[in-house]
Structure 1
Amino acid sequence: MFEDILSAIPLGFFLAFLVGPVFFVLLETAALRGFRAALTFDLGVILADFIFLCIAYFSTNKLLTSIKDDPALFIFGGTVLLVYGVISFIKVKKSARKSANFEVQKLKRKDYIGVFVKGFLLNFINIGVLGFWLGLLIIFGPTLEMDPKRMSVFFGTILITYLIIDILKILLAKRLNKKLTTKRIILMKQAISILMLIFGIILVLRGTFPEDMHEIEENLDITMFQEFE
């Protein structure tokens, strides 16, 4: 059991530093809305991970493999991110024109529900997350003998490690509060919006040209591997 925990911790680190839309929005939320808002957002993200993990565990591999590679799901998720990025960018530009004082936001209690849902949906629309958990289940399931207790400890450790690392990221990002001027806040929000657009385009391309994108990803993996040799 202890060996399972030790094997899971590095995967939790990897998941916490996996660069994607959630990564940047988490840092933005911590910097602009504070620790509690960012932690609430992160709990929504983890709930989506937990649901994907349950789907991967209780479904057949054949069904999941077909779902995770379904182009329509990539196109849908990418389109949602594109729309989100465009709307966010427009809202930032409008806010910047209306007010010169773009202050750090403080949330009311009812707003935390929205932040939680935002974290959940932002992670849930990325079908690649399902593929990640399915891959881990296929790779590590047999080594854990598909024992429910061992798998609960293993995957639970991954999620707990992920949460701990994210809390550290939140604390570091929160320190940016004192250095955030109006101009810097606007630039940060615009950058996050542009990143959402980029991730959305990538997902749409993966759904529209799956074979070409897969070949590009493989070539990138080979290039990176050669650089490390």
Structure 2
Amino acid sequence: MEIVLNGVISGVVLAFLIGPVFFTILQTSIERGFVSGAWVAAGVSLSDALYIMISYLGLYQFFENETSRLYLSYVGGGILLIFGLYYLFIKSRKLQEYHPEHIKSRSPLRLMAKGFLINGLSPMVLIFWIGTVGLATTEFGYVDDWQVATYFSAIVATVFATDLIKAKLADKLRMVMTRQTIRRLNIVLGIVLLFFGARLILYADKLV
């Protein structure tokens, strides 16, 4: 029970870190509904689970190489910039008339890929999970596989649950959204993604 509680606490802390994922889930849920936002959240959780496995299995040593982390920062920052430019200059202009019931649905796989990429492209996510693995094994003393699995399952489940809550709350707003409001939301998301992408590239050398 203590392991689960520690995992939930860690998950709550992670869930309230404001980043591009937070705005992406809100934007998707407001524009496309709760189910679409939930699929994006699932992609986020999938990328978190993958990074946990990489960290725990020791593959993170590859990413601790300065050159690898530098290239990852540049590639991740570049892709975030592309996403940001798309939402700022293309997506925000595509809306001619906003009717929630007329918005085309997207495949779950595509929505999951969106969440997976935006969350997983930043080296800081991997660095966070490496630190969390260290905390679990040293500070908490979780050395058995079942202890580690329980702890990190609780974290991922907590983050996923809070992301679903964000998506549901955002979904409640979609029926009162105007075309102009949706356009502004896309502009805000574009600016946020551009900020994090540029920051990742400009401060890449500080990650190594």
**TM-score in terms of structure 2 length:** 0.91
The 5 Å alignment of 1:185-204 reads: 185-204=182-201
What residue identity is the alignment partner of 1:160? A
Is the aligned partner of 1:131 residue 2:127? Answer: yes
- CA drift at 1:68: 9.7
The corresponding residue for 1:36 is: 35
The corresponding residue for 1:160 is: 157
The corresponding residue for 1:66 is: 65
Q: What is the aligned residue count? A: 206
Task: Specify the SS of the correspondent of 2:65.
Answer: helix
Cα distance in structure 2, aligned partners of 1:86 and 1:199: 12
The 5 Å alignment of 1:12-91 reads: 12-59=11-58, 62-66=61-65, 70-91=69-90
The corresponding residue for 1:227 is: none
The corresponding residue for 1:172 is: 169
Task: Please list the CA deviations of residues 45-82 of structure 1 after superposition, one character each: whole Å capped at 9, or x if unmatched.
Answer: 11111110000011166444336982221111111111
- CA drift at 1:160: 0.8
Task: Specify the SS of the correspondent of 1:59.
Answer: coil
- CA drift at 1:205: 1.1
- In structure 1, stretches of 5+ residues that fail to align are 215-229
The corresponding residue for 2:148 is: 151
What residue identity is the alignment partner of 1:174? D
Instruction: Tell whether the 8 Å contact from 1:35 to 1:174 is kept in structure 2 after alignment.
Output: yes
- In structure 2, stretches of 5+ residues that fail to align are none
Task: Specify the SS of the correspondent of 2:173.
Answer: helix
Task: Please list the CA deviations of residues 140-190 of structure 1 after superposition, one character each: whole Å capped at 9, or x if unmatched.
Answer: 212334210001000000011111111111111111113211111101111
CA spacing shift, 1:62–1:44, aligned 2, 3 Å = closer
CA spacing shift, 1:67–1:165, aligned 2, 3 Å = farther
Instruction: Tell whether the 8 Å contact from 1:53 to 1:133 is kept in structure 2 after alignment.
Output: yes
The corresponding residue for 2:110 is: 114
Instruction: Tell whether the 8 Å contact from 1:71 to 1:210 is kept in structure 2 after alignment.
Output: no
- CA drift at 1:95: 1.6
Cα distance in structure 1, aligned partners of 2:149 and 2:11: 14
What is the percent sequence identity of the aligned residues? 27
Q: CA RMSD in A?
A: 2.1
Task: Please list the CA deviations of residues 22-56 of structure 1 after superposition, one character each: whole Å capped at 9, or x if unmatched.
Answer: 11000111111111101111111111111100000
The corresponding residue for 2:8 is: 9
